[in-house]
Copies of this chain bind each other. A is one copy, B any other.
């Protein structure tokens, strides 16, 4: 998508000040800019950046009076911030305007597609699966058999959803994420090796959930792994079999939750956190990054450490930890003094 300054001025009801044929293909912050980028100046505190920006075009207020030379082409509009917001909306609509079926793609005979949808090339929809109206499925997705996906979802490229999983409405799943792989269940046998425990449950993802890229959410052994309404999961997160994550809980990248743990509502969990299996974590819990959670946590607990305990106490202990060599010396000296 490439636009000239002139086209922008027309769309925004503004006037070009500079090279009307200058083109832009992306948006930038004015302090970062970059050849071919479009930026805007609305907050006077940022005015200094317009004299050094490398953005190719900058949207400014029609009454903006420069105090030095500007290399960028200007597009003068009545309301710079409003114009940028309008462009942003157009931009997102254009990105999201894909529709229809690209070929080659595979839709099983048993599937009836809704009135409005996008299925990118190399997409696969298995037997008896249902896709809701307005849902967009980008290229290379595998929707296995008996999957239900609700309305107005966006499933990015290369997502794989195993059979029997259920996805609500307005769910976003980023590229490469795997929904419904087998839980990690093996029973030791008499030959010192393992027998697989059949994993015949599914994954249920409720409305308004967003999941990042290359995460993995395992199916339940029996029953369902459940991601409740409004949950936000970042990239490279592992959610094991039979876990339940409560409404509007947010988990940062690379964290993992082991099997059958139940996490409450409105929790905030940092990156690279590990939570042991079969626990109950309350509502409104906050867990610092890289913590390890070995036991149940009550509502509104705030914890840190591996193993984690109360955040304030952890940091007091850690402050002493940093001085341990001096403490050891003090004790040694005390012993000597006492002996003498």
A residues near B (Cβ < 8 Å) are 1-2, 25-29, 32, 34, 88, 91-92, 95, 102, 104, 106, 120-122, 124, 128, 138-140, 142, 144-146, 156-158, 160, 162-164, 172, 174-176, 178, 181-182, 184, 186, 192-194, 196, 198, 200-202, 208, 210, 212-216, 218, 222-224, 229-230, 232, 234-236, 238, 240, 247-248, 250, 252-254, 256, 258, 266, 271-272, 274, 276, 289-290, 292, 306-307, 309, 313, 316-325, 327-328, 330-331, 334-335, 337-338
Partner of A325, one of B27, B121, B229, B320: B320
Contact status A186-B238, CB under 8 Å: no
Question: Smallest CB-CB separation from A240: which chain B residue?
Answer: B253
State A175–B162 Cα separation when bound (angstroms). Answer: 9
State A65–B271 Cα separation when bound (angstroms). Answer: 51
Copies of this chain held together in the complex: 3
State A213–B177 Cα separation when bound (angstroms). Answer: 9
Contact status A236-B234, CB under 8 Å: no
Contact status B223-A184, CB under 8 Å: no
Partner of A328, one of B88, B196, B234, B327: B327
